[in-house]
Amino acid sequence: MKKKKMYIISGLAIICIVLFIYAYSILSTGFNIDKTVYLYIDESRNYETLRQEVKETAKIKNISNFDMLSSVLDCKENLKAGRYAVSPDMNIYDLIKALRSGHQTPVKLKFNNIRTKDDLAQRISEQLMMSEESLLNILNDSLKCKELGFTPATVVAMFIPNTYEFYWDVDTDKFLRRMDKEYQKFWNAGRLAKAKEINLTPVEVSALASIVEEECMFTDEYPKVAGLYVNRLRVGQELQADPTVKFAVGDFSLRRILNKHTEVDSPYNTYRHRGLPPGPIRIPSIKGIDSVLNYTKHDYFYMCAKDDFSGYHNFSTNYSEHLINRAKYKKALDARGIK
């Protein structure tokens, strides 16, 4: 009897060891990857879509084990939307715990060198779950923009190009509130004081910075060009900025601004309308904004692209000198057949 009992105990022990080894083999199932990859679960929380990503992106070693453990841990019905990291040292238990708890990895959202609202919405939607259309609808909605303290023409000034951390599934309202918070933080007491010195609001500074950036090929010319436009604003002279004409006609590829372009009836055409345009013609960089706030003080009122096509400008204090520079540039354009 005693021997029989020992056999039973030994048998149970063996079974436990076998079960333990089997369970361990399931739990420790890994992924055939050599660097961290990311899985995305949208608002549909579709398990089959996730399963496909686990196979193709995370290259799981045994998808059946993943299915089994997902069922046991009730993961299939409890998926949380988000962006989840899968690293080479993880196993399926680690991943399923993250999926169930919603422990996702933040996205380092980046946007710079953005020209239009359409470009902005596209760049954001490429990095976050929100759709391009939903973001554009808000940015073009007068009431929504007013709630943020802007208009559809000025709201792009709220977006300060930088790197920000967001969860991939952040909703549009939270995203915009965060952008507004970052805008308020950016416009600190020091920047506000400098804007006041040149009698411009933060939005007007952004509008001027957007013109400066479109005018310049090189950042080292930003402060000098900004100073020229500040001089014009101070005396009430038209800005006559070619980039605003390009914006008005909807063609930034124009290499030569003609009379037919400068006659376009648009509030953005600074050849026809005195002062700054209704809003920025692109989303200016921090460097562009700070170049306006720290503009170079000089007596220049005119500039013209250099005829060597270096990307730099010739500056002049009077119109007669400007006409000479302009004639040189026009001759160079003609010589190259640029129309």
Helix, strand, or coil (residue 6): helix
This prediction has a pTM of 0.87
Which residue do the tokens 């929504």 mark?
144
Say which range, 37-46, 73-82, 220-229, 263-272, has the weakest mean pLDDT.
73-82
pLDDT at 28: 66
When mean pLDDT is compared over 58-67, 255-264, 296-305, the highest value belongs to 296-305
pLDDT mean over 79-106: 92
Answer yes or no: is pLDDT of 238 > 70: yes
Say which range, 61-75, 137-151, 158-172, has the weakest mean pLDDT.
61-75
Q: What are the start and end residues of each CATH 3.30.1490.480 domain in the chain? A: 26-101
pLDDT mean over 59-72: 90
Q: Which residue has the higher pLDDT, 317 or 19?
A: 317
Q: pLDDT tens, 241-261? A: 999 999 999 998 888 888 899
pLDDT category at 155 given cuts 50, 70, 90 is very high
pLDDT mean over 277-298: 97
Q: Which CATH architecture has domain 26-101?
A: 2-Layer Sandwich (3.30)
Q: What are the backbone dihedrals phi and psi of residue 303, each rounded to the nearest 5 degrees, phi first? A: -150, 155
pLDDT mean over 22-28: 55
Structure token digits, residue 166: 């967001």
Quote the CA–CA distance of 46 and 41 in Å, as a whole number. Answer: 7
Contact predicate 245/274, CB 8 Å = no
Say which range, 9-23, 52-66, 172-186, 230-244, has the weakest mean pLDDT.
9-23
Average model confidence (pLDDT) across the chain: 90
Contact predicate 97/104, CB 8 Å = no
Q: What are the backbone dihedrals phi and psi of residue 116, each rounded to the nearest 5 degrees, phi first? A: -120, 170
Which residue do the tokens 């990857």 mark?
33
pLDDT at 75: 84
